[in-house]
Amino acid sequence: MKKILSFIIVVVAVLGVLTACGSNEKKANIEKDVYVLNLNGTDLEATFHHDGDKLKKVGQKMTYPLSYFGVKEGEKLDDATKKNYEKQAKEQYKAYENGKGTSLKSEFTDEALTIEMYVDLEKADEAQISSLLQGTSDAKNVSYEETVSAFEAQGFKKKDS
């Protein structure tokens, strides 16, 4: 009887420890915040996916009106000129193109050139993240708060949901 009681006490203790350990596991609570800025007619949008202070994914969308390229209202750009501007833009952001956990997309319309860049900090190569997010010492643990503070210092404002 003593052995059975001792065994039951040990089992209950082990189950208690396992239950306590399991309940400490934090489920991911991914939040999404969007920050915007209009800079001399160019619309900039940054989307941050984060779990607490840990930044998980970053997306940036930049929409350059044709006036940015010196095109007057009502003027149209020929296809060769559009391709040239698009090529220059892609060259500037080529680190995002075809990388692991990164993407780059551009589209030219009759009104604007839109460039979208995306980086998944969980999937991207750590060296690549360090080069994209210059000055980051620990590329897999980027602070959401510090990143947002840097964007706000540049004039970005949080977009209402």
Domain CATH number, residue 149: 3.30.1830.10
The answer as to whether 8 is a domain residue is: no
The answer as to whether 7 is a domain residue is: no
The answer as to whether 1 is a domain residue is: no
User: For residue 14, what are the contacts with CB-CB under 8 A and spacing of at least 6?
Assistant: none
Distance between alpha carbon 116 and the CA centroid of its chain, in Å? Answer: 11
The answer as to whether 20 is a domain residue is: no
The answer as to whether 58 is a domain residue is: yes
- How high is the pLDDT of residue 145? 93
Cβ neighbours, 10 Å, residue 6 = 10
Residue with the larger pLDDT of the pair 115 and 138: 115
Supply the range of the domain harboring residue 98. Answer: 29-158
The answer as to whether 82 is a domain residue is: yes
The yes-or-no verdict on residue 113 having pLDDT over 70 is yes
The answer as to whether 115 is a domain residue is: yes
The yes-or-no verdict on residue 1 having pLDDT over 70 is no
Q: How many domains does the chain have?
A: 1
